[in-house]
Structure 1
Amino acid sequence: MKVTETKLKGCFIIEPNVFKDERGYFFESFNHKNFCEAIGQEVTFVQDNQSHSKKGVLRGLHFQKGEHAQAKLVCVLDGNVLDVAVDLREDSPTYGQYVSIELSSENKKQLFVPRGFAHGFVVLSDTAHFFYKCDNYYNKASEGGVKYDDPFLGIDWRLGDFDPIVSKKDLELKRLKHI
């Protein structure tokens, strides 16, 4: 597997070795030992989540606070999305900066989003099945978020003139400066 650290320290793009032949393909989507060695830290995932969304659905930007903070390993099982991670670590030199990457069933890339980050994605294909591992259990009282269109962040969601489909809850999220 190829592992590349993004401009945000601790946030990695993971590209598996894919073996293709006339039957189809095979790849190892996760190996705990190899993963931890590649990112240089011990991470134990305890919860897997999936979502299915239609084109234009934007989910995020979400995070868990305090002792319930979560690191995530995200990928797309079917379709393609623009995936975004925002550094919310106040002591980080990249605080408030983001990385975005297209994840798809074709490229099979994954993104490791460490604790202290907000995360979100928008569906670019007709539909998408999104899958992610978390290193901590979800805790409703610890959930938080940043408004997806916060001008301070300036995220290019690659929507053009298309208005995203956003939940009422996500539309009510605050800008970063108010968190």
Structure 2
Amino acid sequence: MRVRETKILGSWEFTPKAFPDDRGVFAAPFQEAAFLDAVGHPLRLAQTNHSTSRRGTIRGVHFADVPPGQAKYVYCPRGALLDVVVDLRVGSPTFGEHDVVRLDSTALNALYVAEGIGHAFIALEDDTTMTYLCSEGYNPTGEHGVNPLCPELAIPWPADVAQILSERDTAAPTLSEALAAGLLPDFEECQAWYAKLRST
């Protein structure tokens, strides 16, 4: 498996080797040994999520309070999408910056998003499916969002795709508003949480 850290500290892309034949293709998008080597601790699995989206659907930018936060290991078993990680950790050297990775059912690559990092994506095809392996279950009181169209984030959503957003994501605060409201995770607290995970 090929592993690449994105420019956002705490986020990695994992690309497995695919084995195609006349029946189809086989690949292992999650491999514990590669994950442990890159991240330094096992992936705790508390919940799996599944979403199917129309072309142009944007989901995110979502994040959860840390601790415990919610780390995500995501891949696209059907269709194609642009996956975006956004550093929302106040005090991080890359605060407010993002990285974009294409996930699709051909490469079957995956993205790990550590606790405190914002996550969003846009579906590039109809019936695009996203699978999430989550370290914590859904916690409605601890989950938040930043508007994915926030000019401060300047996420390069494709100009040729009509955007579809939920009411929740449309109404989400901008980065500055979320910062002023004290909603964003603290970088040092996130680092302490990652260290705790590595120590156990």
Q: Between the two proteins, what is the percent identity of the paired residues?
A: 37
SS of 1:67's partner is: coil
Q: Which runs of 5+ in 1 are unaligned?
A: none
Distance in 1 of aligned mates of 2:109 and 2:28: 12
> Partners of 1:24 and 1:75 in 2: how far apart?
18
Match of 2:18 in 1: 18
> Following the alignment from structure 1 to structure 2, what is the Cα–Cα distance between the partners of residues 110 and 178?
31
Q: How does 1:129-144 map to 2 (within 5 A)?
A: 129-144=129-144
Give yes or no for contact 1:81–1:122 (8 Å, CA) kept in 2: yes
- What value does the CA root-mean-square deviation take over the aligned residues? 1.3
Contact 2:29/2:75 (<8 A) preserved = no
- Deviating beyond 4 angstroms after TM superposition, the runs of 4 or more aligned structure 1 residues are none
Alignment length, in residue pairs?
178
The one-letter code matched in structure 1 to 2:94 is T
Correspondences of 1:94-105 after superposition (within 5 Å): 94-105=94-105
More strand per residue: 1
Partners of 1:85 and 1:28 in 2: CA distance: 22
In the TM superposition, what is the alpha-carbon distance from 1:91 to its structure 2 partner?
2.2
Q: Distance in 2 between matches of 1:137 and 1:52?
A: 19
Write out aligned runs for 1:7-86 (5 A): 7-86=7-86
Gaps in structure 2 of 5+ consecutive residues: 179-200
| 1:175 corresponding residue in structure 2 | 174
TM-score normalised per structure 2 = 0.84
- CA–CA separation in structure 2 for the residues paired with 1:154 and 1:34: 32
Q: For residues 7-28 of structure 1, give each alpha carbon's deviation from its aligned partner in whole angstroms, at most 9, with x where no partner exists.
A: 1112101000111222322222
Q: Following the alignment from structure 1 to structure 2, what is the Cα–Cα distance between the partners of residues 41 and 5?
A: 15
**Per-residue deviation at 1:158?**
1.1
* Deviation readout 1:54-93 (Å, 9 max, x if unpaired): 1111111111113341110111111001111101111210
Q: TM-score by structure 1 length?
A: 0.94
